[in-house]
Amino acid sequence: MASFNIERATKILCQELNTGKGYTGFFYLDAKTISTEICSYDKSFYLVPEKPIFLRTENNQIVSLHSNISTFPGAHSRTIDPEMVTYKQHIISNTALIGRDRWEETDKLKRG
């Protein structure tokens, strides 16, 4: 397996790199889907889908997500002591680039 291969049809633990907060979640890739779920405990957040979203996987690969769609993060609350809130954002992407560093919109790609 090459160092930048992602195991398909497996949820891969990841950390988002956009906010500087390091929210965690799962990246998923198969023949039909590129999706990510990011979770925050106690603080609301929003990753802007119109901009590239960058992830660091558990194997220190960088995933650059482009052409994204998303909803606002949903919240799950517990109102009994101790009160808790968890926020989760689900992102669907059309393009995922995997490598050592971020792929910005200005970077060029070679297709074979």
Q: What pTM does this model have?
A: 0.90
Asked whether residue 80 is domain-assigned, the answer is yes
Closest CA to 47 of 73, 67, 26: 73
Domain count, the chain: 1
CB within 8 Å of 23: residues ≥ 6 apart: 15, 16, 38, 39, 40, 45
pLDDT at position 105 is 85
Distance CA 41, CA 7 (A): 27
- Range of the structural domain that residue 48 is part of: 12-99
Asked whether residue 16 is domain-assigned, the answer is yes
pLDDT at position 111 is 67
pLDDT at position 70 is 97
Asked whether residue 6 is domain-assigned, the answer is no
Asked whether residue 28 is domain-assigned, the answer is yes
Asked whether residue 109 is domain-assigned, the answer is no
